[in-house]
Amino acid sequence: MLHLIKLAVGPKDVEALEKGQARRALAGEGLRHVTRMTPRRAPEILQGGSIYWVVAGVLRVRQRIVAIEPVRRADGSAATALVLQPGLVPVHPRPMKPFQGWRYLEAAAAPPDLAAGDHAAEGIEALPPALRRALMDLGLL
């Protein structure tokens, strides 16, 4: 199994990412992320892989990728749709530097899911992003 990491451009927190996905789903666009490049390792991703979202500089949540389909953009150019399973799964937060596109993430290197009531999930979202990032850089979160 193989995963992808992608920056969530625009949302300032996980709630904003959820709202944006819900808005697109209601507009009939489906729950998918369209990207220019097709993952060459798609068969490995489709064996249970997820897209791990980096929100405000921190890897925070994941979504299972259920299909990878060729699509056309409005201008006619070729693209790829990553069809996503509804629902964001919180993961152990990990700071990430900005990058373009997406990156592969080996299953062994993926952060574990956070269980309900896990202390890492409680109250952290309420901290200002800069403080959260500083605490992670110091290894305190």
- Residue 50: is its pLDDT beyond 60? yes
Residues 81-109 have pLDDT tens digits of 999 999 999 999 988 999 999 999 999 99
pLDDT band at 129 (very low <50, low <70, confident <90, very high): confident
Distance, CA of 141 to CA of 17 (rounded, Å): 22
**Which long-range CB contacts under 8 A does 24-32 form with residues at least 24 apart?**
25/86, 30/83, 31/83, 31/84, 31/85, 31/86, 32/81, 32/82, 32/83, 32/84
- Residue 126: is its pLDDT beyond 70? no
- Residue 28 is predicted with a pLDDT of 77
Structural domain boundaries in the chain: 2-137
Q: ∠ CA(63), CA(81), CA(17), 5° rounding?
A: 40
Kindly give, in sequence order, each residue whose CB lies less than 8 Å from that of residue 41, ignoring residues fewer than 6 positions away: 2, 104
